[in-house]
Amino acid sequence: MRNTSKNKIKLNDISSLQSVLQEAYSNACSQIKDAQKVINDIANNTTPLDVDDYAKLAKAKTDALKLKENAIKLKIEVGKQQADLLKNSNAKVAPVHSGGTATMDDYSAIHDLINKKKTEDKE
């Protein structure tokens, strides 16, 4: 598994969010490789002697396949999030101006953006 770096997600900073998504994607890729390596090792380097050994190997392969499947799902979700981020990065949203705390003006601006998005989706 890769060494993960600790990233801080900054408010209204797309590049920090992209960095976190890229790290999650890379971790999912390494999980897929590790799971496939385990499956290959089980298939090539083991010699089961009886039915119990076959059952244990099948369980280990199943666990590795579940890990691989979950990592693939994670890659797909991260890809969707990155696509949404790129698609919506052109729509600039005004940052929170009150020192990191939300005011009623911020809430009303968010409410207006949500309503605008709903009307665009209906059209």
Is the pTM value of this prediction over 0.75?
A: no
Together in a domain, 52 and 111: no
**By the 8 A CB rule, do 95 and 14 touch?**
no
Domain that holds residue 101: 95-123
Write out residues in the chain with pLDDT < 50, as ranges.
Answer: 1
Same domain membership, residue 33 and residue 2 = yes
Q: What is the pLDDT of residue 1?
A: 47
Residue 86 pLDDT = 76
Whether 22 and 66 map to the same domain: the answer is yes
Of 67, 63, 27, the residue nearest 42 (C-alpha): 63
Could you tell me the two tokens for 59? 């369980």
Residues 100 and 86 in one domain: no
Does residue 56 share a domain with residue 10?
A: yes
Instruction: State residue 9's pLDDT score.
Output: 66
Rounded CA separation 68/25 (Å): 13
pLDDT confidence of residue 68: 93
Give yes or no: residues 68 and 37 share one domain: yes
Residues 22 and 67 in one domain: yes
Same domain for 36 and 17: yes
Which residues lie below 8 Å from residue 34, measured CB to CB, with a gap of 6+? 1, 67
Residues 50 and 5 in one domain: yes
Domain shared by 70 and 11, yes or no: yes
The total of structural domains in the chain comes to: 2
| Alpha-carbon distance values, 18 to 11, 59, 92, 100 (Å) | 13, 37, 16, 21
